[in-house]
Amino acid sequence: MSSQTILVVDDDPQIREVLGMALERAGFEAVMARDGAEGLVQARSVQPALAVLDIGLPEMDGLELCKAIRRESDLPILFLTARDDEVDRILGLELGGDDYVTKPFSPRELVARVRAILKRVGGGAATSEEPETGVLQIGRLSLVPESHVCKVDDQSVTLTSTEITILGKLMSRPKQVFSRPALVDAIWGPGMVVSDRTLDSHLRNLRSKLADAGCPDAIETLHGVGLRMGPCLGM
C-alpha cells in the first residue's frame, strides 16, 4: 500500500468521516478502524506511514494500542485527546508518541501535524533549511537521522521521529545555541502553534533516554537563551 497511507483509529464515526475526507483532500489514503483491537490488526496488515490514535478507544485504549505498536515497529503516532493535561502521558517515555492534537480540533491543523511528522520521518526537518543527513558524531554519541539510528558507543537508543529531529538539529551545529522558537520551527514548521509543555516533554524524554544509555547532560540548557549540545560529550 502507498507510503502515504494514514491509519485513523477512533470510535466516533463522525470523526472518522471528517478526518478521512480531510486526509484524502490533502492527498493521503485514509484507512479506518473503530477500536484498538481493529487498529492493531490494521497497523500490522496495512503498514501505514502514520497512525492517528484516539486515547479513549474501546477494547484497547489508545495508550495500550501505542504500546502494542511500539513493541513491533517505530510507526509515527499522532494522538487525539480530550484533555490537554494528558500530554506528559501520551508523549511519555514508555509510549513514544510523536505529537498530539486536543479535541475539538481543526482538521486542517491535524493534516498539518501529519505532514510535519512525515517530513521528519522522511529525513528532514519541517523546514527547508539544511536537513540533517549522513552520520552525525559527537564523542560517544552518533546519529543517522535518515535511518533513525542513534547510538551511545555501541548501545542503540530508540527515539521517536520528533526526538530524532531535535537531536539532529542540535548535533548539526553542536556549539550553536538554538532558541526554543527555532527548535519549534525545525520540528513542526514555521507558524505552527505549539505549547512550551509539548517541547519540554519531548526534551525530557530525549534527555532521559540518552542518560539511560550512559550519556547524561548531553543537552545543555542556557536559561533564557536556548539549548545546545553539552560539553560533556568532549567537543
Spell out the domain ranges in the chain. 5-121, 136-233
Q: What is the pTM of this model?
A: 0.68
What's the average model confidence in pLDDT over 225-229?
Answer: 92
H helix runs in 1-144, sequence order: 13-25, 36-46, 62-70, 87-90, 107-121
**pLDDT for 18 beyond 90:** yes
Contact criterion met (CB below 8 Å) for 65 and 9: yes
Mean pLDDT of the residues in the chain: 84
Q: What confidence tens digit (pLDDT) does each residue in 48-69 have?
A: 999 999 988 888 888 889 889 9
The CATH fold assigned to 136-233 is Arc Repressor Mutant, subunit A (1.10.10)
Per-residue pLDDT at 232: 63
What's the average model confidence in pLDDT over 16-28?
Answer: 94
Q: What confidence tens digit (pLDDT) does each residue in 84-95 have?
A: 666 666 665 456
φ, ψ of residue 149 to 5 degrees: the values are -110, 120
Please compute, for residue 203, the number of CA atoms within 13 A of its CA located in the half-sphere on the CB side.
Answer: 21
What's the average model confidence in pLDDT over 98-120?
Answer: 87
Residue of 147, 135, 140, 124 whose CA lies nearest to 230: 140
CB neighbours of 54 closer than 8 A, spacing ≥ 6? 9, 10, 11, 12, 15, 62, 79, 80, 81
The CATH fold assigned to 5-121 is Rossmann fold (3.40.50)
Same fold, 5-121 and 136-233: no
Gap between the Cα atoms of 102 and 124, Å rounded:
26
Per-residue pLDDT at 19: 94
Which region among 10-14, 133-137, 148-152, 229-233 has the lowest average model confidence (pLDDT)?
229-233
Gap between the Cα atoms of 141 and 229, Å rounded:
11
Q: For 200, left (φ over 0), alpha (ψ -120 to 50), or beta?
A: alpha
